Structure 1
Amino acid sequence: MSATSSNRTLLHIDSSILGGHSVSRQVTAAIVARLTAADPSLGVVYRDLAAEPLPHATPASMPADHPLSGGKGDAASQQALDEFLAADIVVIGAPMYNFSVPTQLRAWIDRILVPGKTFAYGADGKVAGLAGGKRVIVALARGGHYGDPVATEAGEHAETYLRWVFGFIGIEPEFVKADGIAAGQRESALEGALRSAAELQAA
């Protein structure tokens, strides 16, 4: 992980296990390049969840800020939460594996959904998102096509999951999609996603 100093911070997350062959990694790099070119003072923190995976959730592996940790918690998990809380922009590479997000990304999400930090329950039982000031951009890479609502409801648990998760904490995520990668359309899917990344609103 690396960082530079700035008034505003971008957290760059990759989760693909495919290294240089990964479409989502190429797209997140293009998104970050677009945003940092528009604002060279933007500080960047990078986390590679495949190279440095967080462990699957247990009470002891939660951040110290999480009620399950009993106030003790895991230092690496607390750092992951602190990075997210400090970021103004979060760019996430999310390939779809077996119809959902990689387990490495799910483990990270388990660190940032923390009562009192990113969401809270009101007296009426309704949830209030506490992270609404952030911009989240997801580079979503999928082997097939999921534009059909029936297909999405039946077998798509990556975009639908991430929309729900970030909505739960008060954020409406943006998606840059590369679809059809395993359906003989890898190059056109990547080209389209890179074009979309280059056209992102910089603010």
Structure 2
Amino acid sequence: MTHILLIQSSSNLASSVSRDLSETYVNDYKATHPDTTVTERDLVSSPIPHLGVDLLGGFFGKPEALTEAQKAALALSNTLVDEMMAASLIVIGVPMYNFSIPSALKAWIDHVVRAGRTFHYTAEGPSGLVTGKKAVLFLAAGGVYSNGPYKPYDFQETYLRAILGFIGITDVTVIRAEGLALGEESAAKAKADAHARTAALAV
């Protein structure tokens, strides 16, 4: 049985391409794998706090000395880590904002990338603890960043692969819809190509 954790991070709730692709994939996957269960975490409709003094204090403070605010912040982080650990497949819809990921997604990452929970330090350096899982990233961008002159500006896929790999998730598939702001023809082709790849992936 597959348990999917679906993460949504686009602030466009009306016509988001990353939301459309990730939701289509999950629905198609469920159709071909009927025993699939899904936990959805919408970081825009239900935002989580960015890394602040209470969460940082919860991470590094002594358990017996934590304030109620620190305990609450740490409890949310534990819940988010537990959701990720319970999933066998992590699906993330990600628009590109200013060459990188939305701050809402960065907030989630700051809650779940934790020493002692999702990675630990060894004599050879840090080692990820989130192993045996797959991730599928649905990336949307107005320009073209997978190749060409703007490739050096891609801090979307590069960052996500790096941070997921750091905690042990190295089986990562990326579906891109790019060139969405380069005219109607470019946008239509990008969406069609991405949907075709999404349909093939869900089989």
TM tier relative to shorter chain: 0.7 to 0.9
TM-superposed CA distance for 1:148, in Å, is 2.6
Q: What amino acid does structure 2 have at the position aligned with 1:114?
A: R
Number of the residue aligned with 1:80: 80
Where in structure 1 are there 5+ consecutive unaligned residues? Answer: 1-6
TM-superposed CA distance for 1:169, in Å, is 1.1
Call closer, same or farther: CA 1:93–1:69 in 2, change over 3 Å: farther
Number of the residue aligned with 2:151: 152
Number of the residue aligned with 1:136: 135
Report the Cα distance in structure 1 between the residues aligned to 2:61 and 2:187, rounded to whole angstroms: 43
Report the Cα distance in structure 1 between the residues aligned to 2:109 and 2:127, rounded to whole angstroms: 17
Number of the residue aligned with 2:190: 189
Alpha carbons 1:59, 1:68 under 8 Å: kept: no
Report the Cα distance in structure 2 between the residues aligned to 1:62 and 1:35, rounded to whole angstroms: 37
TM-superposed CA distance for 1:62, in Å, is 5.8
Report the Cα distance in structure 1 between the residues aligned to 2:61 and 2:197, rounded to whole angstroms: 41
Where in structure 2 are there 5+ consecutive unaligned residues? Answer: 64-70
- Report which of the two has the higher share of helix: 2
Report the Cα distance in structure 1 between the residues aligned to 2:165 and 2:57, rounded to whole angstroms: 21
CA deviations over 1:2-56 (Å, ceiling 9, x no partner):
xxxxx53111111100112100000001110122112111110011101111111
- After superposition, the CA RMSD in angstroms is 1.9
Alpha carbons 2:146, 2:154 under 8 Å: kept: no
Question: Secondary structure of 1:19's match?
Answer: coil
Equivalent of 1:35 in 20, 29, 32: 29
Query: What TM-score results when the alignment is normalised by the length of structure 1?
Result: 0.87
Question: Secondary structure of 2:140's match?
Answer: strand
Number of the residue aligned with 1:68: 60
Report the Cα distance in structure 2 between the residues aligned to 1:63 and 1:143, rounded to whole angstroms: 38
TM-superposed CA distance for 1:68, in Å, is 2.9
Number of the residue aligned with 2:67: none
TM-superposed CA distance for 1:63, in Å, is 10
TM-superposed CA distance for 1:142, in Å, is 0.8
Report the Cα distance in structure 2 between the residues aligned to 1:62 and 1:46, rounded to whole angstroms: 25
Report the Cα distance in structure 2 between the residues aligned to 1:115 and 1:130, rounded to whole angstroms: 9
User: Which is greater in Rg?
Assistant: 2
Alignment of 1:1-203 (within 5 A): 7-61=1-55, 67-68=59-60, 70-71=62-63, 72-74=71-73, 75-124=75-124, 126-148=125-147, 151-153=150-152, 155-172=153-170, 173-184=172-183, 185-200=186-201, 202=203
Report the Cα distance in structure 1 between the residues aligned to 2:53 and 2:2, rounded to whole angstroms: 32
Call closer, same or farther: CA 1:187–1:149 in 2, change over 3 Å: closer
Percent identity (aligned):
38
CA deviations over 1:121-161 (Å, ceiling 9, x no partner):
1023x1211112111100000111113365322x1110110
Alpha carbons 2:32, 2:202 under 8 Å: kept: no
Query: What TM-score results when the alignment is normalised by the length of structure 2?
Result: 0.87
Q: What amino acid does structure 1 have at the position aligned with 2:151?
A: T
Q: What amino acid does structure 2 have at the position aligned with 1:128?
A: S
Call closer, same or farther: CA 1:192–1:120 in 2, change over 3 Å: same
Alpha carbons 2:139, 2:174 under 8 Å: kept: yes
